A and B are shown apart, each in its own frame.
Chain A
């Protein structure tokens, strides 16, 4: 009995390793990764549009590209590592051994997270290179910070993508339609990211549209308890404009994200444990 947690960890590790292998081999991973690299190329080119601050614009577009790619990668990984296994009944082979279903989900999520960190580092390095190359000899009046501020922004996007991955995983655990995790995950990623802008818009009086504020304020007030504000994990202003986010804000944003992942994974394992595979 005392060996149970150890056994859980060991089986989880198996699922992590198999997840990592499958994740790196998958076609969709390679496709999305190439897309990410292309988008960083676009970020590099977009720098040429800016008369005053090419590096900042390249960095800005590049950050958006990294966030987009990481979210997309997570969605496809969930699709490949969880949803498709359930769909094709491959999961029955894994669960035929005396392992807990929770260890499967936890293992897969950890694999997802490690893959995300790996992708974030690689895309981050590429972006760094693109930003260094852009602008040629032009010296911007306000330079970008490519050290800790840059990597903190990348870490924020990785965490953001992990929240989306956890949500998608949760949907995969209960859904019998295999594309649902992908579709709902994408909607979740957009909604969570846009929530901050929505709250901001309403808080500033919606350009004087009082009717709009009156009808949507209670709704958004309610939604923010269900949906995490993913724009809180966006710390790019530090790298772009040397405006460091407050320590408090960062702490609570990270806590919010981790807690939300916890809620999603717990809910997923509860649902998954009771699921019957026909």
Chain B
């Protein structure tokens, strides 16, 4: 006699298969909420240390890898906030970490995280007593972002005893002197960022710094043209296009970061902090 198939398991199998197929079909129509692809969360410092087996150096390196593998070109402001938090943590785990202060100096202040950059560089300057770069970058933050050349120069001079060769000592003192004497100049800032780019290994990071430097160079040209406009017409330009129509510039420079330039209240060209708003169509 043939044994009949057990009814209950068979029904369960069929029902489950149907429910599965149905849910899959439903899911395929629903878009998956995409999480931020780059840097998502930061664990509290203690959790990070415990996950690294209590080893704060390892915790610093693990966080450091997260910062290093994040692609700069895909990052948004919220990503930079997370990166800033991570870099602060690394600076706390191991303030001597060289990549950390270098990346902090090169990325954070340009992306609205000036405080974090200052924290990281301050800790690196205090810990890396043999290294003059953190103090140099720290001074540059004051020079470029706070528009405070005197304080910037003070940190540059603090770095001088850490430099091993006399030529670099002179160069550093020279830069400090120029900062104090001439105040803030866009061209000087561009030179600094160009030097940082040339000092970096080839790759995305160097390209990013070059773009930053190029923006400053373009801004310098715009500011020069605005000065010439004032001299020629005795008044401020009202729009950036005035500089082109007056024949002072062949065209408004294209900004590869997409933010563009504008005129501030006093008619001086400045960098936009955000991309320009698209006019409604």
Looking across the interface, which residue of chain B has its beta carbon closest to that of A50?
B99
Tell me if B50 is interfacial: C-beta within 8 Å of chain A. yes
CA distance A117 to B33 in the complex (A): 52
Q: Which listed residue (B58, B102, B131, B205) contacts A64, Cβ 8 A?
A: B58
Chain B nearest CB: distance from A208 CB in Å? Answer: 13
Given A67-B55, A190-B54, A236-B57 in contact, is the A142-B68 Cβ separation under 8 Å?
no
CA distance A241 to B97 in the complex (A): 9
CA distance A53 to B60 in the complex (A): 14
Tell me if A57 is interfacial: C-beta within 8 Å of chain B. yes
Tell me if A103 is interfacial: C-beta within 8 Å of chain B. no
Chain A contact residues, majority secondary structure: helix
Contact B54 A191 (CB under 8 A): yes
Residues of A within 8 A of B186 (CB): none
Contact A241 B102 (CB under 8 A): no
Looking across the interface, which residue of chain A has its beta carbon closest to that of B106?
A51
Tell me if B250 is interfacial: C-beta within 8 Å of chain A. no
The interface centre, meaning the residue of A189, A194, A236, A240 with most chain B CB atoms within 10 A of its CB, is A194
The interface centre, meaning the residue of A52, A201, A234 with most chain B CB atoms within 10 A of its CB, is A52
Q: Which listed residue (A52, A56, A138, A197) contacts B49, Cβ 8 A?
A: A197
Residues from 44 to 71 in B contacting A, C-beta threshold 8 Å: 45-46, 49-50, 52-58, 60-61, 64-65, 68-69
Contact A190 B58 (CB under 8 A): no
Chain A nearest CB: distance from B211 CB in Å? Answer: 17
Cβ proximity bits A43-58 to B, threshold 8 Å, 1 near / 0 not: 0001001111100110
Residues of A within 8 A of B49 (CB): 194, 197
Tell me if B130 is interfacial: C-beta within 8 Å of chain A. yes
Looking across the interface, which residue of chain B has its beta carbon closest to that of A53?
B98
| Interface range for A | 35 or more
Residues of A within 8 A of B128 (CB): 241
Cβ proximity bits A197-212 to B, threshold 8 Å, 1 near / 0 not: 1100100000000000
Looking across the interface, which residue of chain A has its beta carbon closest to that of B205?
A51
CA distance A63 to B205 in the complex (A): 28
Chain B nearest CB: distance from A137 CB in Å? Answer: 12
CA distance A242 to B55 in the complex (A): 20
Contact A201 B131 (CB under 8 A): no
Looking across the interface, which residue of chain A has its beta carbon closest to that of B55?
A64
Chain A nearest CB: distance from B276 CB in Å? Answer: 32
Tell me if B9 is interfacial: C-beta within 8 Å of chain A. no
Looking across the interface, which residue of chain B has its beta carbon closest to that of A186?
B53
